[in-house]
Amino acid sequence: MNMLRRGRFAPTPSGLLHIGNAFTALCAWLQIRQAGGQFLLRIEDIDKSRSRPAFAERQIDDLRWLGLDWDEGPQAGGPCAPYYQSGREQLYENALERLKADGRIYPCYCSRADLASIASAPHGLSSEGTSYPGLCRHLTNEERHANETVKAASLRFMMTDESSSFEDAIHRVQNFGREEMGDFIVKRADGMFSYQLAVTVDDAAMEITDVLRGADLLDSTPRQLALYAALGLKPPRFAHVPLLADAEGSRLSKRDKSLTLATLRAEGARPERLVGLIACLAGWLDRLEPVTAQELIPCFHTKQLNKPLISVSDEQLRWLQES
Catalytically annotated residues: 254
Which residue numbers belong to the known binding site for Zn(2+)? 108, 110, 132, 136
CA atoms of 70 and 55, how far apart (whole Å):
18
| Bridge pairing between strands 309-311 and 105-108 | unpaired
Q: What count of residues does the chain have?
A: 323
Beta carbons of 197 and 92 less than 8 angstroms apart:
yes
| Bridge pairing between strands 243-245 and 309-311 | parallel
Rg (CA), the chain: 21
CA atoms of 311 and 103, how far apart (whole Å):
45
Which residue numbers belong to the known binding site for ATP? 254
The DSSP call for residue 214 is: E
The pair phi, psi for residue 306, each rounded to 5°, is -90, 55
What contacts 157, CB < 8 A, 6 or more positions away? 99, 104, 105, 183, 184, 185, 186, 196, 197, 223, 226, 227, 230
> Within 13 Å and on the Cβ side, how many CA atoms surround 298?
1
30: exposed, middle or buried (Cβ count in 10 Å: 0-12, 13-18, 19+): buried
What contacts 149, CB < 8 A, 6 or more positions away? none
Which residue numbers belong to the known binding site? 8-12, 44, 108, 110, 132, 136, 195, 213, 254
The pair phi, psi for residue 70, each rounded to 5°, is -145, 145
**Strand blocks (E) in 128-227:** 154-157, 164-168, 172-176, 184-187, 210-214
Residue 198 CB coordination number (10 Å): 24
